[in-house]
């Protein structure tokens, strides 16, 4: 579950970074306009982009911390339960092998 959360946070951070970059490009394109209303709007958007960058940085740090906690918890579990970990790995391998064998045999019949 933590892994899914960390991956989701990382994906969200990437998407936010992309949005911020596009907004900055738009602002640069509009930046040469001298209209007072556009200038005020541009200033507000720059402030929003700066806030988004700050939040994005915080989100990335949270995702990194969550990933580190998950890694530490996994390593601790493996050290404390080596036989259970081995059993889980063997079971997963057998299930995956059976699934692949079944899939291979059904594709040969078609």
Place of tokens 């394109």: 29
Give 58-104 as a DSSP string.
HHHHHHHHHHHHHHHHHHHHHHH-HHHHHHHHHHHHHHHHHHHHHHH
* CA 96 to each of CA 51, 99, 104: distance values in angstroms, whole numbers, following the listed order: 46, 5, 12
Whether the model pTM is above 0.95 = no
pLDDT for the residue numbered 97: 92
Name the DSSP class of 31: T
Angle of CA points 54, 55, 59, to nearest 5°: 120
pLDDT for the residue numbered 31: 65
Q: What is the pLDDT along the chain (110 residues), one digit of tens a residue?
A: 555 666 777 777 777 777 777 777 777 766 665 677 677 777 777 787 778 788 888 888 888 898 899 999 999 999 999 999 999 999 999 999 999 988 887 766 66
pLDDT for the residue numbered 46: 77
pLDDT for the residue numbered 20: 76
């Amino acid at each position: 579950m933590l892994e899914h959360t960390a991956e989701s946070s990382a994906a969200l951070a990437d998407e936010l970074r992309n949005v911020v970059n596009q907004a900055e490009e738009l602002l640069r394109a509009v930046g040469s306009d001298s209209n007072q209303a556009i200038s005020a709007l541009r200033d507000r958007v720059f402030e929003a982009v700066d806030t988004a960058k700050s939040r994005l940085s915080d989100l990335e740090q949270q995702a990194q911390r969550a990933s580190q906690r998950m890694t530490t918890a996994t390593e601790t579990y493996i050290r404390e339960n080596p036989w259970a970990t081995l059993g889980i790995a063997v079971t997963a391998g057998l299930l995956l092998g059976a699934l692949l064998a079944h899939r291979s045999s059904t594709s040969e019949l078609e």
